[in-house]
Amino acid sequence: MPFNRSVNKAQKSFLYNVCDVLLNVVIIVATVAVIRTFIVSPFEVEGNSMVPTLEDNQYIIINKFNYIFGEPSRGDVVVFHPPSDSRKYYVKRIIGMPGDKIVIRDGDVFIEDNGVERELKENYLDEKNTGRTFIAPVGTGDKSEKKYFVPNGSYFLLGDNRQGSLDSRSFRNAQGEETPYVETENISGRVWLVALPITKSHALQTPNYEQ
């Protein structure tokens, strides 16, 4: 009898330990899922459309929490689904806010307010791209004027590599019709920091266009 009681005690102890491990695994998985869904999430940059701000194969962390209680700001670098493909993720910079009139002309970007234009001072662009924001196809150097009227609840986005970026200037649906605007619900979050490689790790700041 003492032997049987010892075996039962060992079995109970084993089952308790197994249940404890499983419970901890469930808690950890649930915590990670909540963090990735609502707070922060990692992504890998593919391509050079955001050079020099972001480079190919860099790992970035996006902040989702800010957009739960607030709205995106002009200049935010964000991860989003393009209008024509909800399976893909792109990373670009918000240029046009809801209700904005955006004008692209002579390689520069302007915001029109009550008929008055002001040039957007984009100090984050490198020498190759400064003054070279052309209309689509973006690599042709077409300096023609084009206006975009951003609807409420939507945004106009451009890559920092203006001559090598598939962005709001180029987005089209299956019928070939222009779909330049990204709706709020398709924006996953703001790029918070570059995590890898460690040698280039840094936080991203939203530019102040008033300076």
Active site residues: 49, 92
Q: Are 94 and 78 in contact (CB under 8 A)?
A: yes
Look at residue 18 and give its three-state secondary structure: helix
| CA distance readout (Å), 66 to 62, 78, 188 | 10, 12, 11
The answer to whether 56 and 45 are in contact (CB under 8 A) is yes
Is residue 63 within 8 A of residue 69, CB to CB? The reply is: no
CA 122/CA 47 separation, integer angstroms: 21
